[in-house]
Amino acid sequence: VIRYTLTRLALLLLGLVVASVLIFVTLRVLPGDVAQVIAGTNSTPEQIDAIRQELGLDQPLVAQYLDWIGGVLRGDLGSSMLTGTPVADELVEKAQVTVPLGILSLIVALVVSLPLGVLSAMRRGRADGTFMSVGAQALAAVPVVWAGMMLVVVFAIWLGWLPAQGFPRAGWEDPAAALRALALPALTIGIVEGAMLLRFVRSATLQAVGQDFVRTAAAKGLTRDAALLRHGLPTVGLSVITVLGLQVAGIIVGAVVIEQLFTLPGIGRMLVADVSARDLPKVQGELLVLTSFVLIVGFFVDLVHRLIDPRQREAA
């Protein structure tokens, strides 16, 4: 197990280095830079050059990369070129919106997918089971933006129960208002992600039904459903944990899109704003944190999976 952990850790570090290079290079391919944005539409080339020099944009790219990554290794994510604010501070502030949004979305996704997925597998072949699986198929194919707009139309505009966009200026000092503001966005991401998860739970359950130990349990006198629930579900749970790693990535992407739609002042909206101002040090820091988060979640999912699955333990 230790050797496995070390190999995975090495892979994780390699992944992070590759990600940092990719992030850095991809952003440099974008046309335009922050000096042009600062100088605007009434500037001379000399002005732009002077600002570039001031910001260190005239340094060679390799030097800029090493400068950045050196800072990251010392725990410094860098600062915004526009405001001078440290990237870490900004991330912490915006995370107050994005992290609760992600957690709420995940809860919605699990609440939707687990019972319905198992149920639709058990009801396979019957009308309601088929309906659930077709419904999930359709929902999983829906873009989050569309789902969000439909929810806004129904819950914010027709029924008037929830706010259509925005986040209370007081933030979490007014928890009720903050939760209400996050309700529709979390529901949007949760339903779409949940529909994808539902399909996965269903097929994992179906697989479990076919397993020897479930059939044996059924043969020993349990009903098929009871056998499935008692002996099959643990294996389903295991598969779900594996796929949750992927879901986290899906939820992060969903949050970036949904924060635009609901004008939530979170990490997603900050990221888009920073790209369109070409505040690259900030974008780099933000992307690196998000990527690391997904990679680290994947790392732990692998570890947990290995620790709790008796079959894998023995194989090692």
Partner 1 sequence: MLRRTALAATALLAAGALLLTACTGGGEPAQTTAGSPDPDASVAIRLVLEPGNLDIRQTAGAALDQILVDNIYQGLVARTPEQDIEASLASDWTVSDDGLTYTFTLREGVKFHNGEDLLPSDVVWSLQTRKATPEWRDSARLANVTSIAAEGQVITLTLSAPDSTLLWNLTGRAGIILKQGDKTDYQTKANGTGPFVLTSWKQGDSITFERNAEYWGDAPQVAEVVFAYIPENQAALNAALAGDVDVVTGFDANLKGQIEATGDFALELGASTDKGTLAFNQTKPPLDDKRVRQAIRQAIDHEAIVEALASGQTQYGPIPELDPGYEDLSDVAPFDPEAASALLEEANAQDLNLTLTIPNFYGPTVPTVLVSNLNDVGITLTVDSVDFPTWLNDVYVNKDYDLSFVLHTEARDFENWANPDYYFTYDNPQVQDLYAQSIAATDEATAEDLLAQAARIVAEDHAGDWLYNGSSVIAVGSNISGMPSINVNERLNLAELAKSDG
Size of the site for partner 1 (CB under 8 A): 53
Q: Which of 102, 232, 265, 285 binds partner 1 (CB under 8 A)?
A: 265
Smallest separation (angstroms) from partner 1 to the CB of 268: 10
Does residue 211 interact with partner 1 by CB under 8 A?
Answer: no
Separation CA 162–CA 178 (nearest Å): 11
Q: Which of 12, 19, 27, 82 binds partner 1 (CB under 8 A)?
A: 82
Stretch that binds partner 1, among 18-26, 108-116, 262-270, 287-295 (CB under 8 A): 262-270
Hunting for tokens 């992927």 — which residue is that?
246
Surface-to-core class of residue 87, CB atoms within 10 Å of its CB (0-12 exposed, 13-18 middle, 19+ buried):
buried
Contacts of 91 (CB under 8 A, 6+ apart): 77, 267, 285, 286, 289
Does residue 57 interact with partner 1 by CB under 8 A?
Answer: no
Does residue 161 interact with partner 1 by CB under 8 A?
Answer: no
Separation CA 32–CA 20 (nearest Å): 21
Q: Which of 5, 36, 292, 312 binds partner 1 (CB under 8 A)?
A: 36
CB atoms within 10 A of CB 287: 20
Residue among 41 and 73 whose Cβ is closer to partner 1: 41
Does residue 94 interact with partner 1 by CB under 8 A?
Answer: yes
b/e 257-282 (16+ beta carbons within 10 angstroms → b)? bbbbbbebbbbbbbbeebbebbbbbb
Hunting for tokens 């725990």 — which residue is that?
75
Does residue 70 interact with partner 1 by CB under 8 A?
Answer: no
Smallest separation (angstroms) from partner 1 to the CB of 61: 17
Does residue 141 interact with partner 1 by CB under 8 A?
Answer: no
Does residue 297 interact with partner 1 by CB under 8 A?
Answer: no
Q: Which of 45, 60, 75, 210 binds partner 1 (CB under 8 A)?
A: 45
Contact 198, 117 (CB under 8 A): yes
Angle at 265 between CA 41 and CA 169, to 5 degrees: 110
Residue among 15 and 168 whose Cβ is closer to partner 1: 168
Q: Which of 27, 88, 99, 149 binds partner 1 (CB under 8 A)?
A: 149
Separation CA 111–CA 45 (nearest Å): 57
Residue among 54 and 128 whose Cβ is closer to partner 1: 54
Cα distances (Å, whole numbers) of residue 189 to 96, 100, 185, 248, 254? 17, 13, 6, 11, 6
Question: What is the binding site for partner 1 (CB under 8 A)?
Answer: 30-34, 36-48, 50-51, 54, 80, 82-85, 90, 94, 143, 145-146, 149, 152-153, 156-158, 163-167, 169, 263, 265, 269-270, 273, 275-279
